[in-house]
Amino acid sequence: MGKDGSYRGQAHFGQGRRSKIMKYKQSDIDSLSDLEKELPEPDDFEGYYDNIPEVSPYLIEEQHKDYTELCAKDIFDKTYKWLQRIGCVDNVSQQLVEQYAMSAARWIQCERAISKHGFLAKHPTTGQATTSPFVTMSREYKKQVNSDWYQIYIIARDSGIETDDTDEMEDLLD
């Protein structure tokens, strides 16, 4: 740092790893774009996601308070499709995916209530402002969502979804 408090001549935020990125020449980049033209067409995946199992009825029940649909089925379908795509749908139980979907849907429902009603509520006995119960419920559901997702991800990771693509990216950044 200079006497005037400036950081002239020293490293600044965002200047790291510049030499590795700048060492490639335009000819290297052009040769990479030629490889893209030679890639084969992907396989047809029609019908690949047709075998998603039926979800439990509690995931699709109408909410009686505001008559909205719970988005748990959508979350279940997306998670199940992801598990099918990476090839470890047999290793993760449907019950765990349903539990994750329900917790995530409830968390979203709490966040919608916070957006609608705000962060503050009226205390029932004193009448003063207090934290909305939706904030506390949202925090608890978020913990549950993260815990459930971590369980699903650990099973998927231990099933061998790690690819060489991540190693190549890490080598590029070193």
Closest CA to 104 of 131, 73, 80: 73
pLDDT band at 2 (very low <50, low <70, confident <90, very high): low
pLDDT band at 85 (very low <50, low <70, confident <90, very high): confident
Cα 86 from chain centroid (whole Å):
15
pLDDT band at 100 (very low <50, low <70, confident <90, very high): very high
Q: Supply the pLDDT for residue 22.
A: 54
Of 58 and 110, the structure prediction assigns the larger pLDDT to 110
Q: Is the pLDDT of residue 150 over 70?
A: yes
CB 86 within 8 A of CB 95: no
Instruction: Supply the DSSP string of 43-92, one letter for each residue.
Output: PP-TTTTTTPPPPPGGGSPBPTTT-PBPTHHHHHHHHHHHHHHHT-TTTS
Q: Is the pLDDT of residue 28 over 80?
A: no
pTM attached to this predicted model: 0.62
Q: Supply the pLDDT for residue 159.
A: 82
pLDDT band at 164 (very low <50, low <70, confident <90, very high): very low
The mean pLDDT value for 129-147 works out to 93
